[in-house]
Structure 1
């Protein structure tokens, strides 16, 4: 799933904005994502002290190679959704950062429950989500903000962003449904619905009005 999401985002960036933008997307999100994950595993900054299990495949410096691809997968749709919803650059960067970081309100509780990674001290935590520290989400927001600042320089709005908007809304809706109905994680369903909905709901309204 992660590989498909990565391939989609890179292919869409290439098709709509050219190879330089696609290369920049990979450098910023996959390259930057790997760098911050390696830093996090080694030092506990900026997400808190955590470690990956061996269930996600080969690792480099303690980071499974599939993990940086996930940053690319969601960073691109989040940024394009923010382009659609907001008019000013500052608003777009802020919304894009929230839209990417809030995905982790779904991702981390699910992955921890499945044993893919763990925190050494997951406190303080959000109510109902005891295994993930709040500091992790703040770290995500900081990293997402830097990624959106980098992307805004090379990715102006385009008319052909519908497929990416669909991916973002599908990820949002399917995550809410999965956590609430199938994974036994109602608290993360609620937190994720509220957090990611800051961008997903205005995006859906915008597309509906069109």
Structure 2
């Protein structure tokens, strides 16, 4: 196996871990949750290193994992910007009160979101698309993780219809943080990076489709399936159309 295929292999392993998740229960689910994030993080960083270079990968990790750790530590200590919440002890050890795996999850989806946005927009418009591409993933993530008992809100307040226990402020906070992260990537990374993105684009589309299916059919969370299908679909569906158009075979020249 050449190193060029390593990101694809890591994406494949991440997908297999996600497929296995609904098929197990108890502590095995906790192990798979952590394993999935570690594999997804490795896939994103490895892809960045092999296709964009070590500097880009370092910026990605500092902005998304480092920034994710800081904002999660702020969130658990002050309630800003997501609302008052606390992590359980189900995801391993903590750093600054945050499970160590949580910052890796920010990177795992921030890199695909950034590359997806590069296929749909440019300039500062890309920042907004990337921010939404990342933040809309939380329409699936938080309901699933709260249902699994990994974290809870002290005073949930008003939430999305059909999705109790999670305040609307959480989703607003996600949009804010995701847009700031995307703005930093825009300022610090090269603007021309649309090539060799296939594994990450495929992972984003897989995450969307599999999350809709899993929430609707396996987790008993139909409302979050619908909200996620709508919210993340605003990016995933245009991406799927764009990719279908660019990969469509050219028509054969008519015989003369």
The answer to whether residue 206 in structure 2 is matched with residue 165 in structure 1 is no
Q: Find the residue that maps to 1:177 and give its secondary structure.
A: helix
Aligned equivalents of 1:46 and 1:181: distance in 2? 32
Aligned-pair distance for 1:157? Answer: 2.2
Per mean C-alpha deviation after superposition, the further-off stretch among 197-206 and 146-155 is 146-155
Give matches, 1:81-100, under 5 Å: 81-86=116-121, 88-100=122-134
Partner residue in 1 for 2:86 = 51
Deviation at 1:89, TM superposition (A): 1.2
**What is the CA distance between 1:61 and its match in structure 2?**
1.9
2:98 maps to 63
Paired positions, count: 209
Higher relative contact order (CA 8 A, sep 6+): 1
CA RMSD of superposed structures (Å): 0.8
How big is the shift at 1:99?
A: 0.6
Match of 1:194 in 2: 230
Q: Are residue 133 (structure 1) and residue 170 (structure 2) matched?
A: no
Map 1:116-131 → 2, pairs under 5 A: 116-131=150-165
Q: Any conservation in 2 of the 1:84–1:157 contact (CA below 8 Å)? A: no
Aligned to 2:245: 209
2:140 is aligned, of 97, 101, 106, to 106
In structure 1, runs of 5+ residues without a counterpart are none
Q: Which has the larger radius of gyration?
A: 2
Q: Is the 8 A contact 1:38 1:62 kept in 2?
A: yes
1:16–1:158 contact (8 Å) kept in structure 2 = no
Using the TM superposition, give the Cα deviation of residue 159 of structure 1 relative to its aligned residue in structure 2, in angstroms.
1.5
- Cα deviation code 1:15-51 (max 9, x no counterpart): 1110000000000000000000000000000000000
Give me the TM-score of the superposition, normalised by structure 2: 0.80
When you count strand as a share of all residues, which structure comes out higher? 1
- Which runs of 5 or more structure 2 residues have no equivalent in the other structure? 1-35, 247-256
Distance in 2, Cα, partners of 1:92 & 1:61: 32
4+ runs deviating over 2 angstroms: 155-158
